[in-house]
Amino acid sequence: MNLLDVAKSHVMVILRQYDIVTSDIIKNSIQPVLAMLHVLYPDQIIDEERLYRDLLSINNVYVANETQLRDDRDHIVWLPDRKSEITWGFWNRYRHYLEDVKSYPSIVISKLHGLTDNILGSLEDPKRQGEWDRRGMVVGYVQSGKTLNYTGLICKAADAGYKLIIVMAGIHNDLRSQTQLRLDEDFLGYDTRLSRQYSNSNRKVGVGKLVEHGDLVIHSLTSSAEDGDYRTQIARNVGFMLGGDPVILVVKKNASVLQNLLRWIQSDGRVDPETGEITRDNIPLLVIDDEADNASVDGKQAKRDENGTILENTDPTTINRLIRQLLKTFQKSSYVGYTATPFANIFIYPPDDSGNVKKYGEDLFPRSFIINLPAPSNYIGPVQVFGLDDNGELGLDEHPGLPIVEEVDDYELHIPDRHKKDFPVKSLPPTLKKAIKVFVISCAARMARGQNTDHKSMLIHITRFTVVQGLIKDLVLQELTRVQNLLEFGSGNSTNPIIDELKQIWEEDFSNATVEIQKVVDDPQITNLEWEKVEQHLYDAAAKIQIKAINGSAKDVLDYKDHPNGMSVIAIGGDKLSRGITLEGLSVSYYLRASKMYDTLMQMGRWFGYRPGYLDLCRLYTSEELIGWYKHIAMANEELRKEFDYMAATGGTPMDYGLRVRTHPDGLQITASNKLKHGTKMAVSFSGGISETVVFHKNKDIAEKNYSHVNSWLSQLSTPEPIDGSWRWTGITGKRIIELLEGYRTHPLSRKAEPSTLCKYIQKLLLEDELKEWTVILISSRRGTKDKIAGLDVGLIERRDDSEKDSKKWMLPKGRLLSPVDEYKYDLDESEITSALEMTITAWRNNPKRRGMEEPMEPSGPYIRAVRSKQKGLLLLYPLRAPYPDSEKPIIGYSISFPKSHKSVQIEYLVDTTYWRNVYGDDEEQY
């Protein structure tokens, strides 16, 4: 620990006595610490300004409260009564470590304490007699600190009496080893590479160095070595029995590893003479499933009828089966899945009485609880990076996106999207060469800010094939070596052209970005830099950079722990870098791997997370298509989280939410097709929802047929009335709305607006005496190019094309066609609008995430649809000016606002892999 970190740690001790830490309190607390350290280290100088900024940044974090869905049937509340009886040795040591070594702010530790109490209390008391089984899930954000959370839970579980803790950490050795290393430092306190069994003579690491906490005995059957996964021979040689001292294992989700582990556990079990089943009695088990949506979910979910009953007895996939068998073996077990992309887990059907359940144990649906973790205020996720439109429905202000995303359009000639495993890459795209130089500048600028010993990483993720990754590594090495040589030796001329080139990049790409990011991100560590200060560090920064291929074939590893003075690395890879693995200090990403599944895209986003003091020095290079997809994901992901919060506020259960996600119109996009492998009957409900066409064909014939159909349909209606520059028809029957939809063709990616599904929903509600009377609005822009539709003058609406270079589809920005005000101003009266606004404001006041937001001035979508009569639907037609030149007619899009219905009407349809690929293309979750 350098002197700056020592000073920071001492000041944090002082600051913990304050509930609210202000800048003045920080300044006053710094002075006595600096005076003390000056006496002890008179020859060393501490940068007081940087110390102040670091402390201000650390203490300027806001963390909202979590929301939760629970089902407490068969659960006994226990923690409040037992809390004072438990000796919280592991937890207090971990908390001390976070406070005094890691310098976490009090608010973060306080929230962690409360949250882990909540999760532990949602599990069962390990002292409870009899048979019990709890299943839960904790949902965070990608790279948001889930490991911190489950480490705290593990500490408390061990203190409370859980005797066996199994952490399932991904499917690769790298992630398993990285996770074990974290737990060695944060929980075990000793280096498991030297000894798995606790002893006073063990080499102490992390929390183990806090000797004032005494001996806390915990054994490990795995180690942080690359090959340190579970092995039966080691388990037999350790010399202790399960059920005594607590034991932890960190294993990867690998069939042979889990089979051997299960076999060893069952070898000492009790055999039921009637069933032949093996049970381990009185050994409370806690399974932590990290990245719970990866490999754990059954990819062979069987065919079911319309009631969800299995039609055929299909064995589950191996990993899923082994986890279920492991839980079934223990008389007392708790399972907690951690993930940032929970959608595959939600698609798991709730428990049933099928043969699979009797044979393997029930599936991993989180029936007991789901906890939704809010992102801390300093977290940088897809909403911050890619932006979000102002959306009253989700309670979100507009986010313009950060100036750190660069579009890549020059890679096809060098390495095309669809290439074979032996594609001969001969040169790098110019944008990748530039990205390498940008990384050098970023490293130098961080040094100029004093971050000399911080890790610095660059990600290159453009192919799944290891051979191609090797070729790219060689070319990247050539380019980096060229830059290093020019910085060291120059080019033989009086001026060094590489310095001029890097300076130009700095002036064009960085100077303004810092100013813009300072306006929207409250990080005191981000300071303005002059080029001259950055230039001083260019050679040192470039010379320090290593290049590593991280895949199953290469021997390279990301050994950050072996570089106490900071590691600078360009990591080239595919699957291993796409999920779970943390790239420390990631600042530059070059990413071109396409996918349309929400969970796959989110997990690939290694650039999400925390970037203290260098967010303005980060860059993401990616394709136009992926930029568009991430913008759509940002909205869809927030919508599903909003639905979760709404259910939590109204007392919903995990099973309720599972049904809602499975019936959500976006459901088919949110997880991979292998979860629907045998054909799954899906259901969708549009009750209280909005359906919009947000993706259109770039096809003249389709556009003009849609235009002709809408034009003809409108011409058959009565004379409309003008309203606020647009045209309105009232009293239109549901049958006429169905006629319009039946003749309209949507793009497959406008899944929420698919006409045949909408027609079935409207037809069903007409039978329930709902949706009988519709208002139709033909929107007209006052400023747009004029055209005629059904003989009416309309101004065409301008919308940007988020997939401009795609010749087949036009994606609207951020997945929205509707202008929010249009949903209420044309068909609600003043009392209805007032009522919807009052409900919106009430929900806003109850929202823990509202910090920094102004009270809503307009009603939001769910409450607009809640006050609308069940009899009435709203159809909004938007004439759009086509973004491509050969279309002679406007493109007609539509939005439908459905009132909240209490009839629970759902529309069912069968989907399978063939359907999926026809709609979305190849599934790329497995690389």
- What DSSP line would sit under 643-692, residue for residue? HHHHHHHTT--HHHHHHHHHTSTTGGGSS-GGGGTT-EEEEE--TT-EEE
Judge if 854 and 819 occupy the same domain.
no
Of 919 and 388, more confident: 388
Sign of the torsion formed by the C-alpha atoms of 390, 391, 392 and 395: negative
**87 in a structural domain:** yes
Q: What is the pLDDT of residue 901?
A: 86
pLDDT at 99 over 80: yes
Judge if 152 and 215 occupy the same domain.
yes
Q: How far is residue 802's CA from residue 814's CA, in Å, rounded to a whole number?
A: 8
Judge if 854 and 814 occupy the same domain.
no
The token pair that represents 307 in the structure block: 């009631």
Cα 740-747-696 angle, rounded to 5 deg: 95
Judge if 94 and 113 occupy the same domain.
yes
Please report, as a single letter, which amino acid is at residue 156. K
Question: Quick one: DSSP state of residue 338?
Answer: E
Concatenated DSSP letters of 257-298: HHHHHHHHHHTTSEEPTTT--EEB-S--EEEEEETTTSS-S-
Q: Give 117's pLDDT tier (boundaries 50, 70, 90).
A: very high
Q: What is the pLDDT of residues 577-603, one digit of tens each?
A: 666 577 899 999 999 865 555 556 666
Judge if 855 and 807 occupy the same domain.
no
Question: Quick one: DSSP state of residue 470?
Answer: H
Give first-to-last CA distance, the chain, whole Å: 40
With beta carbons less than 8 A apart as the criterion, state whether 758 and 741 touch: yes
How many domains does the chain contain in total?
5
Percent of the chain with pLDDT over 90: 45
With beta carbons less than 8 A apart as the criterion, state whether 335 and 284 touch: no
- Selection from 490, 479, 400, 395 nearest residue 439 by Cα: 479
Of 12 and 570, more confident: 570
Q: What is the pLDDT of residues 468-486, one digit of tens each?
A: 999 999 999 999 999 999 9
Mean pLDDT of 606-627: 87
Judge if 45 and 175 occupy the same domain.
no
Judge if 97 and 207 occupy the same domain.
yes
Tell me the H-state helices in 248-406: 255-266, 318-329, 343-346, 355-360, 382-386
Q: What is the pLDDT of residue 391?
A: 56
Of 185-199, 368-382, 641-655, 860-874, give the lowest mean pLDDT range. 641-655
**Domain final residue, candidates 29, 59, 89:** 59
- Selection from 380, 499, 389, 497 nearest residue 440 by Cα: 499
Mean pLDDT of 807-826: 85
Of 15 and 574, more confident: 15
Q: Give 522's pLDDT tier (boundaries 50, 70, 90).
A: confident
Rounded to the nearest integer, the mean pLDDT of the chain is 84
pLDDT at 780 over 90: yes
The token pair that represents 315 in the structure block: 């064995």
**469 in a structural domain:** yes
Q: What is the pLDDT of residues 879-908, one digit of tens each?
A: 999 877 677 789 999 999 999 887 767 766
Torsion from C-alpha of 657, 658, 662, 667, nearest 10 degrees = 70
Q: What is the pLDDT of residue 159?
A: 97
Please report, as a single letter, which amino acid is at residue 756. S
Q: What is the pLDDT of residue 302?
A: 47
Judge if 52 and 66 occupy the same domain.
no
- The CATH number linked to 219 is 3.40.50.300
Q: What is the pLDDT of residues 242-293, one digit of tens each?
A: 888 999 999 999 999 999 999 999 988 899 887 788 999 999 999 999 988 7
| pTM metric for this prediction | 0.72
Mean pLDDT of 506-510: 93
**618 in a structural domain:** no
**339 in a structural domain:** yes
Question: Quick one: DSSP state of residue 815?
Answer: G
Highest mean pLDDT among 84-88, 347-351, 809-813: 84-88
Q: What is the pLDDT of residue 442?
A: 97
Q: What is the pLDDT of residues 648-663, one digit of tens each?
A: 776 778 877 765 554 4
Judge if 758 and 774 occupy the same domain.
yes
Q: How far is residue 859's CA from residue 850's CA, in Å, rounded to a whole number?
A: 16
Q: What is the pLDDT of residue 307?
A: 40
**Domain final residue, candidates 372, 398, 419:** 372
With beta carbons less than 8 A apart as the criterion, state whether 890 and 677 touch: no
Domain span holding position 857: 828-861
Judge if 855 and 818 occupy the same domain.
no
The token pair that represents 880 in the structure block: 């759009």
Judge if 233 and 365 occupy the same domain.
yes
Of 577-586, 689-698, 715-724, 739-748, give the lowest mean pLDDT range. 577-586
- Selection from 713, 704, 878 nearest residue 794 by Cα: 878
- Selection from 857, 820, 818 nearest residue 840 by Cα: 857
Concatenated DSSP letters of 755-787: HHHHHHHHHHHHHTT-S-EEEEEE---SSSPEE
What pairing do the DSSP bridges indicate for beta strands 132-139 and 332-339?
Answer: parallel
Q: How far is residue 304's CA from residue 682's CA, in Å, rounded to a whole number?
A: 10
Highest mean pLDDT among 43-47, 259-263, 358-362: 259-263
Q: What is the pLDDT of residues 75-96, one digit of tens each?
A: 999 999 999 999 999 999 999 9
pLDDT at 504 over 60: yes
Q: What is the pLDDT of residue 81?
A: 94
Q: How far is residue 678's CA from residue 595's CA, in Å, rounded to a whole number?
A: 22
**Domain final residue, candidates 59, 76, 101:** 59
Mean pLDDT of 538-563: 87
pLDDT at 57 over 60: yes
Q: What is the pLDDT of residues 617-645, one digit of tens each?
A: 999 999 887 887 777 777 767 767 777 77
**42 in a structural domain:** yes
Q: What is the pLDDT of residue 579?
A: 62
**662 in a structural domain:** no
- Selection from 501, 474, 477 nearest residue 487 by Cα: 501
- Selection from 382, 393, 300, 196 nearest residue 864 by Cα: 393
**617 in a structural domain:** no
**384 in a structural domain:** no
Judge if 321 and 301 occupy the same domain.
yes
